[in-house]
Amino acid sequence: MDSHALTVALGEIHEQLRAINLQLASLQSVRAKTKRPEPDAIEPWLEPITTWLAGGGDKAAFPRNVICGRVDPKTRRRPVVVATTADILQFALQLKPSKHTRRGQMQVGRIMRSLGWQKSRQIWNAGRPVRPWVRPQVVGRLDLGET
């Protein structure tokens, strides 16, 4: 095969590769536009978290550092008023501390914000700094010994 024929063949291959790349880019853009949203990993956690925050669950599910409000006469439960993300992961979702991940913490944060809860200022709990979640109705009324 002479050099001219080789150059022509390489040029044709180059044009074919360029056409394939254009088709691939077009398919990727169509796929990106029509891609169905993935099931949200937060949804399975919403119900157990809201149940726990409303005072549902057994007494062992509420450690001392979780502040609960007064007993609701309708439900006869003591809703949670202040809790940390770790408390929610451990007691509402029943995940061992060794299974707590950054992703799980972020999911809990998104759920808590969607429920209207707010982070308080940093406080010290058991010798460690924490920023617990505070129920929206008590944000301005609760003194957590903030620093």
pLDDT of residue 1: 64
Within a domain: residue 145? no
pLDDT of residue 3: 79
8 Å CB contact between 70 and 46 = no
How does DSSP assign 71-89, residue by residue?
Answer: PBTTTTB--EEEE-HHHII
> Quick one: 81 and 132 in the same domain?
yes
8 Å CB contact between 123 and 83 = no
Dihedrals phi, psi of 74, to nearest 5 degrees = -75, -45
Query: How is residue 141 written in tokens?
Result: 């009324």
Within a domain: residue 128? yes
> Quick one: 7 and 64 in the same domain?
no
Within a domain: residue 26? yes
Secondary structure E strands in the chain: 67-68, 80-83, 118-119, 123-125, 128-130, 133-134
Within a domain: residue 102? yes
Within a domain: residue 101? yes
> Quick one: 83 and 47 in the same domain?
yes
> Quick one: 63 and 129 in the same domain?
yes
> Quick one: 8 and 53 in the same domain?
no
> Quick one: 50 and 20 in the same domain?
no
> Quick one: 17 and 89 in the same domain?
no
Q: How far apart are CA 95 and CA 100, in angstroms?
A: 7
8 Å CB contact between 46 and 115 = no
pLDDT of residue 37: 53
Within a domain: residue 147? no
> Quick one: 68 and 6 in the same domain?
no
Residue 125: domain span: 43-138
- Tokens 């709990």 map to which residue? 125
8 Å CB contact between 80 and 62 = yes
Tens of pLDDT, residue by residue, the chain (147 residues) = 677 887 877 788 878 878 887 787 877 777 776 655 555 544 789 999 999 998 887 666 676 667 777 777 777 778 888 889 999 999 999 999 999 999 999 999 999 999 999 998 888 877 888 889 998 876 555 555 543
Name the pTM for this structure: 0.62
Number of domains making up the chain:
2
